[in-house]
A and B are shown apart, each in its own frame.
Chain A
Amino acid sequence: MAPDTHTDKVYESELRDLRDRLLEMGGKVEAAMAGAVRSLIERDAALAEKVIAQDREVNRTEVEIDDMCRRLLALRQPAASDLRFITTALKIVTDLERMGDLAVNVSERAKDLAQSPPSRPFHDLTALADLSGSQLEKALDAFVEKNVEKAEEVIEGDDLLDAIYHRLFNDLLAYMMEDSRVIRRATSIMFAAKQLERFGDHATNVAEMVVYMVRGTDVRHPGSRGGEGAPG
C-alpha cells in the first residue's frame, strides 16, 4: 500500500541523518577501544594519548545526537516505529558515550603500564578485547539492519565475555600471588579488563534496545519483571 519512506521527505532525511550520526559515533567508539587496547598491549603511550584526546569528539557527537532527538520529538511528534527508533537513539547514545569513556580509562592504564617493566602476555586480554569489539560491531549492524536475531546473538554472547573476564581475573590473581612485585602492573591490567567487560555490557544494552526498536518488546531485566531468566 505505502512505500517504506515517509511522505514528508525532510522528516525522512532527518531520521536518516540521526541514524548516520549514531553509526558514525559507534564507529568512533569502536576505533577508540581498539586503539586503547593496542596502546596497552604495545605499550604505546602516544597512541593512548591520542585516544584520550579523541574522546572529546565522541562527547560532542553525543550532545549533537541528543539535540537531534529532542528536535525530532518536539517538532515531529513521532509515533510507532519512529518513536521507538528515536527513543532507542537516545538510549544508545548514552551507552556509546560511556563506552568512549571506558576506552579512555583503558588508555590511562596503558600510559601507566608503558612506564613500568613489561608483564608477561595475557592471551585472554586480547580475546576479551576482540570479543567486546565484535560485540559492539554486531550490535551496530543489528541496529542498521533492524535485525533482531543478530541483536539476540549479542545478548547471548555476553556470557562468553563474562567467562573470559573471570578466567583472566583468576589468572591475574594467581600472577600477583606468585610475585608481589607485579601487583601494581597486574592491578592495572585487571582494571583494563574490567573496562572491556563493561564495554561488552554496554554493547548488550545497545542490542537490547535494538530488539525493542524492531519488535516493540522490552527484553531488559527479565528477572525484575517476573519473567524467566536471571536478573541482568
Chain B
Amino acid sequence: MISNLEMATPMKPFERPISESGRLSVAEPVAPEPKLTVRDLNAWYGKNHALHGVNLTVTPHSVTAAIGPSGCGKSTFLRCLNRMHELIPGARAEGTLLIDGKDLLGRDVDPVTLRRRVGMVFQRPNPFPTMSIRDNVAAGLKLNRLPGNHDEIVERTLRQSALWEEVKDRLGASALSLSGGQQQRLCIARALAVEPEVLLMDEPASALDPIATAKIEDLIHELKERYTIVIVTHNMQQAGRVSDQTAFFYMGDLVEVGPTEKIFTNPSEKRTEDYVTGKFG
C-alpha cells in the first residue's frame, strides 16, 4: 500500500526508493544510460585484424580520449563509430555499436544518416577551398537538404565553435583566408551545423600552434555541454586536459579504459603505465 507520505513526495531523479530486498535503500546516483556502447568490436583491413574485440561505453555529455602509439587502432576505432572505416576498400568491421541503445552497424542503417548523428573533425583542417566561410558551414545542410533558416544556423554554429566574432564581418570571404586554427574551428562549425549528437575528433589540434590548440581545447569543454565527444590524440597532456575518460589502445587491443585522472596517475595495467610514462621502445 502506498502511504500518503510517499504519494505526497514525488520521487526525485537519482533516487532509488526501495531496493530489491524491499528495504529502504540509501539514495545513490544512478549512472546515466550510455550514449555509445561498443561491444566486441573487431575491424579488419583486408586480412589485417586491426581491432580486437573492443568493449567500451561512453556517457552522454562527456569527452572520451583514445590514446596509444601509431598503428594501435585508435583512429580505426574512431572511424568505426561513424562507419567511415568501411569506406576503405577491403576494410570491414564486426560487433555491436549502439547509439542510445540502437544498433549502428545494421545493414538497414543508412551511413549518411548515421554520419549526421555522429559528426567528425579531422586532423588537418579541410574546409571546401572554393566556398565562402558561410557556404562551408551550410554545406552539410544543403547536401542533406535540411530545412530551417540557414543563416541562423550558420551564426549559431559559428558562435558555438567560438569563431563568430572573428568572421562575422566577412562571411562571404574564402574559407582559405582563415588561419589554420580558424579553419579547424570552421570545420567544427560545419560538423555542428547538421546537429549531430556525437562529435568525433581525430587529432583535431595536431596541426595547430599552442594558442589555436588552447582555443580548440577550450571549445571542447564548452561543446560537451551539448554533445558527446570522442577524441583521438597523440598528445597525452591534451588527453589529460580535455577528457573525462581515457582509453589506451595498443596493437589493436583496448588495454585499459577508465577515468582520465586514474589513467594518468595510477593506471591498472602495466602496458598503460609504460606508455604514459614513456617507457616504450
- B280–A80 contact, CB under 8 A? no
- A6–B271 contact, CB under 8 A? no
Interface string of A68-99 (1 = CB under 8 A from B): 00000000011111111000000000000000
Report, as a range, how many residues of chain B touch the other chain: 10 to 19
- A80–B281 contact, CB under 8 A? no
A77 to B279: give the CA distance in the assembly, Å. Answer: 14
* Chain A neighbourhood of B267, CB < 8 A: 80
Asked if A223 is at the interface of the complex by the 8 Å CB criterion, the answer is: no
Asked if A2 is at the interface of the complex by the 8 Å CB criterion, the answer is: yes
Given A80-B273, A216-B266, decide whether A2 and B279 contact each other with a Cβ distance below 8 A. yes
Residue tally, chain A, CB below 8 Å to B:
19
B236, B240, B273: the one contacting A81 at CB < 8 Å is B273
A6 to B280: give the CA distance in the assembly, Å. Answer: 7
- B274–A82 contact, CB under 8 A? no
* Chain A neighbourhood of B266, CB < 8 A: 80, 84, 215-216
Asked if B19 is at the interface of the complex by the 8 Å CB criterion, the answer is: no
B274, closest chain A residue (CB): A2
Shortest C-beta distance, A81 to chain B (Å), equals 6
Shortest C-beta distance, B27 to chain A (Å), equals 18
- A79–B271 contact, CB under 8 A? no
Interface string of B257-281 (1 = CB under 8 A from A): 0000000111100111110111111
Asked if A3 is at the interface of the complex by the 8 Å CB criterion, the answer is: yes
* Chain A neighbourhood of B277, CB < 8 A: 6, 78-82
- A4–B279 contact, CB under 8 A? yes
Asked if A1 is at the interface of the complex by the 8 Å CB criterion, the answer is: yes
* Chain A neighbourhood of B278, CB < 8 A: 6-8, 11
Given A1-B271, A84-B266, decide whether A79 and B279 contact each other with a Cβ distance below 8 A. no
Asked if B9 is at the interface of the complex by the 8 Å CB criterion, the answer is: no
Point out which of A3, A79, A82, A215 has the most chain B C-beta atoms below 10 A from its C-beta: A79
- B265–A84 contact, CB under 8 A? yes
B270, B276, B280, B281: the one contacting A79 at CB < 8 Å is B276
Asked if A5 is at the interface of the complex by the 8 Å CB criterion, the answer is: yes
Given A1-B274, A77-B237, decide whether A7 and B279 contact each other with a Cβ distance below 8 A. yes
A4, closest chain B residue (CB): B279
* Chain B neighbourhood of A83, CB < 8 A: 264-265
A84 to B236: give the CA distance in the assembly, Å. Answer: 17
* Chain B neighbourhood of A77, CB < 8 A: 236-237
A216 to B265: give the CA distance in the assembly, Å. Answer: 8
A216 to B264: give the CA distance in the assembly, Å. Answer: 11
A23 to B85: give the CA distance in the assembly, Å. Answer: 53
A82 to B277: give the CA distance in the assembly, Å. Answer: 7
B240, closest chain A residue (CB): A79
A11 to B271: give the CA distance in the assembly, Å. Answer: 19
A21 to B57: give the CA distance in the assembly, Å. Answer: 45
Point out which of A2, A8, A80, A84 has the most chain B C-beta atoms below 10 A from its C-beta: A80
Shortest C-beta distance, B279 to chain A (Å), equals 5
* Chain B neighbourhood of A78, CB < 8 A: 277
B272, closest chain A residue (CB): A80
List 21 A-B residue pairs with CB atoms under 8 Å apart, sorted by A's residue number.
A2-B279, A2-B280, A3-B279, A6-B277, A6-B278, A6-B279, A7-B281, A8-B278, A11-B278, A80-B265, A80-B266, A80-B267, A80-B272, A80-B273, A80-B276, A81-B273, A81-B277, A83-B264, A84-B266, A215-B266, A216-B266
Beyond known contacts A78-B277, A79-B236: 6 more, CB 8 A cutoff: A1-B270, A2-B280, A2-B281, A6-B277, A84-B265, A215-B266
User: Which 8 pairs, one residue from A and one from B, show the smallest C-beta to C-beta distance?
Assistant: A216-B266, A79-B276, A2-B274, A79-B264, A2-B279, A82-B277, A80-B276, A7-B281
